[in-house]
Amino acid sequence: MTAPQNRKGSGRFPKGISGNPGGRPQGLARATRELVGEDGKKLTELWWSIAQDSMQRTSDRLEASKLLADRGWGKAPTYAAIEEADPLDLARLEQAAEEFRASIVRLAGQAEPQIT
């Protein structure tokens, strides 16, 4: 299998060369909004009908429910797993807290009694 003309031998695109030089077809977003409506209500109605239809495949019903939830409440945040690292460096923070506590105890012991 040979790489297309605008790719390197490795199959990767050289810097500055797009894999999609034509880009998204002009007017596609506008045409979609004309079909669906500016607010997307037709799409939400379709997803809702799929989610409620017991004759639909379970996977389709779940996907429709996910689409509704994502659009209605936003996608749940995802976090990258941090392996073998402590981004907060808790050991250092605990040490600093202990040093601070020791300083307070030392200063409290040096304070002269106040006469009232």
Of all residues in the chain, the percent with pLDDT exceeding 70 is 86
Identity of residue 4? P
Question: Measured in Å, how far apart are the chain's first and last C-alpha atoms?
Answer: 93
Answer for the pair 65, 53: CB distance below 8 angstroms, yes or no: no
Answer for the pair 95, 89: CB distance below 8 angstroms, yes or no: no
Whole-model pTM above 0.75? no
Domain definitions of the chain by residue range: 28-73
Q: Which residue has the higher pLDDT, 92 or 111?
A: 92
Q: How confident is the model at residue 96 (pLDDT cuts 50, 70, 90)?
A: very high
> Rounded to an integer, what is the distance from CA 53 to the centroid of its chain?
30
Q: How confident is the model at residue 113 (pLDDT cuts 50, 70, 90)?
A: low
Helical spans, DSSP H, in 21-87: 28-36, 41-52, 58-73
Answer for the pair 46, 52: CB distance below 8 angstroms, yes or no: no
